Amino acid sequence: MDDVKNLLGMSDLDGDRLGLLLEMAAKVKANPDEYRRALTGRSIGLFFMKQSVRTWVSCDVAAIELGVHPVVIRNDQTGLGIRETPEDVGRVLERYLDLLGMRVFEHSDLERIAAVVSVPVINLLSDLEHPCQAVADLQTLAEHVTPQRATVAYVGDGNNVCHSLLQAVAMAGASMRVASPPGYAPDPAIVERGRRFGEVIVTEDPSEAVAGADAVYTDVWTSMGQEAEAAERRRALAPYRVNLALFEQAKPDAIFMHCLPAHRGEEVTDEVIEHPRSRVFDQAENRLHSFKAILLQALS
């Protein structure tokens, strides 16, 4: 399905396509009425195996404002991989829908579905990547810094958000630094993929990552599905909490970023997430505008 505009991970984009997405996201944010009903008559599925607030609401509203009919599908109704194989679910849904947006646990489920359907498959989050979040993050960065000259520091668990972010930042021409404890670093293969585009530094020292950065980013230490590891994760990641002392090692005008939800007092303190230079709610808003851009690119 080489001609289908999937977005399973950042490797489905190149610098040009990412740039076009960001341009479109900025345009729809600035002039939403210009794009209202631009995709009238189309229908998409929004499939959820995991809980969601920002993804569900932003994707639903983005679709409606573009004239797309969104169908929200919960896995307790579908039984992906239990009641039916991922392939069978995908082949049924493509008969009804123009695009499948899927929030899953296992990235392989997305790959299995994308391999057999002829409609775009968009990763709304998997255990490997969160590309829609990364597009919104770059849109937010572009609103506050110059991405091509920026340094972004990510501190904490090298998880799915980190994976997509480091590739996106490198694609945009910026410098990425990741600080994680031993055993929690991002996947080396994804780090190498990011390095094909730009500078990606991985360290165990949070201060080394944050020093002089334009943006400081973190995420929860325990993602959905990792609850049994929560106590061990808190122990390992405690030195990577973004507090005011760490944030102040970045540039004086640096911004703070977090994809939310935040576990205040764990990965970030209240004084940082509520800091005047915190942009976490700008990021949340930009999930709406960036998903409109993703739909326009995939369905136009």
Active-site amino acid positions: 103, 130, 133, 219, 259, 287
Instruction: Tell me the C-alpha distance between 145 and 289, whole Å.
Output: 18
| Whether the bond into 261 is cis, omega within 30 of 0 | yes
Among 24, 3, 219, 214, smallest CA distance to 135 is for: 24
Q: What is the number of other CB atoms lying within 10 angstroms of the CB of residue 132?
A: 24
Secondary structure of the chain in the HEC alphabet?
A: CCCCCCECCHHHCCHHHHHHHHHHHHHHHHCHHHHCCCCCCCEEEEEECCCCCHHHHHHHHHHHHCCCEEEEEEHHHHCECCCECHHHHHHHHCCCCCEEEEECCCHHHHHHHHCCCCCCEEEEECCCCCHHHHHHHHHHHHHHCCHHHCEEEEECCCCHHHHHHHHHHHHCCCEEEEECCCCCCCCHHHHHHHHCCCCEEEECCHHHHHCCCCEEEECCCCCCCCHHHHHHHHHHHHHHCECHHHHCCCCCCCEEEECCCCCECCCECHHHHCCCCECHHHHHHHHHHHHHHHHHHHHC
Instruction: Tell me the C-alpha distance between 160 and 133, whole Å.
Output: 10
Q: How far is CA 180 from the centre of its chain?
A: 19
